[in-house]
Amino acid sequence: MPVPAAVSPRWRRCRRIAPLLLVSLLAACAHAPARNPLATWVPSPNYDARRPVLIVLHFTDQHSVQESLDTLRTANSGGPVSAHYLIGADGRIYQLVADADRAWQAGPGRWGTITDLNSASIGIELDNDGHSPFAVAQIDGLLRLLADLTARLRIPPTQVIGHEDLAPGRKDDPGPLFPWARLAAAGYGLWPRDASIDPPPGFDPWMALALVGYALDDRAAAVRSFHHHFRGMDGDALDAQDLRVLYALARQIEGTAGQ
């Protein structure tokens, strides 16, 4: 429709600018904090965004990155699953869910006093079939990602665990082939500094296992997960070296708590 000659150039500029202002206002509303219409909004500066305190590592148990991407982005026979990140064997990092959002990756389980693991953790899937060694480039990529996440999200570097650690008996990833010692050498995950010292008389390995974070509802399953993580082997009974490892871990945890 032609603009009448009487309309000023200033009015023409306003007509062009108005839609842009409307878009800006809509964008601002989209990012405004959710407010309950039943309450009077009286904002306080005393808050922080909810943030994860734990990083959970998985293996995909599939045969390619593309297959895993499809699984993590669609509904499956067991229901929809997801993760925040997927790392290929070549070290390439894919992000599927924003860090601030809750990915469906941990499921039922417990680590220490944490029971809602999906709300409290970042999930990282590693493209691995569960029976093969993890590629060097893949672990290099994982270390880069861990350095970013622990610094940016302020997650303690020791708070990196496996899926099977929080769900003994239900899950077995990332399994006994995962190189936890290499992560520990880079400063990530809990690892015994000196596992050569025999514990004193009266040492309770089950209390130490619970102190590390394992649930003891099924003690044999907890030991299997512990063995995968800290010994790189199978087995559901504690031996003398397990006691040395647990004693070292308990001393480290208690020492950190006392600082």
CA dist 169 and 203 (Å) reads 25
Classify burial at 104, counting beta carbons within 10 Å of its beta carbon; exposed 0-12, middle 13-18, buried 19 or more.
Answer: middle
Name the pTM for this structure: 0.83
In degrees rounded to 5, what are phi and psi of residue 66?
-65, -40
Which one, of 240, 101, 52, 83, lies nearest residue 173 by Cα? 83
How confident is the model at residue 114, as a pLDDT?
A: 96
Check residue 21 and give its pLDDT: 46
Catalytic, out of 67, 125, 164, 254 = 125
Which residue ranges does the chain devote to CATH 3.40.80.10?
Answer: 54-185
Q: How far apart are CA 13 and CA 15, in angstroms?
A: 5
CATH among 1.20.1560.10, 3.40.80.10, 1.10.3660.10, 1.10.3720.10 for 54-185? 3.40.80.10
Q: What values do phi and psi take at 86, rounded to 5?
A: -135, 135
pLDDT in tens, 204-224: 999 999 999 999 999 999 999
Which residue stretches of the chain have pLDDT < 70?
1-34, 77, 256-259
How confident is the model at residue 5, as a pLDDT?
Answer: 47
- The predicted pLDDT at position 75 comes to 75
Is 67 labeled as catalytic in the residue annotation?
A: no
Cα distance between residue 11 and residue 175, in whole Å: 69
CA distances from 213 to 5, 165, 208, 249 (A): 78, 8, 9, 11
Q: What is the mean pLDDT of the chain?
A: 88
Q: And the tokens for 223?
A: 């030991």
C-alpha angle 93-144-228 in degrees, rounded to nearest 5: 85
DSSP state of 3: P
Token representation of residue 111: 């680590």
In terms of C-beta density within 10 A (0-12 exposed, 13-18 middle, 19 or more buried), how is residue 126 classed? Answer: buried
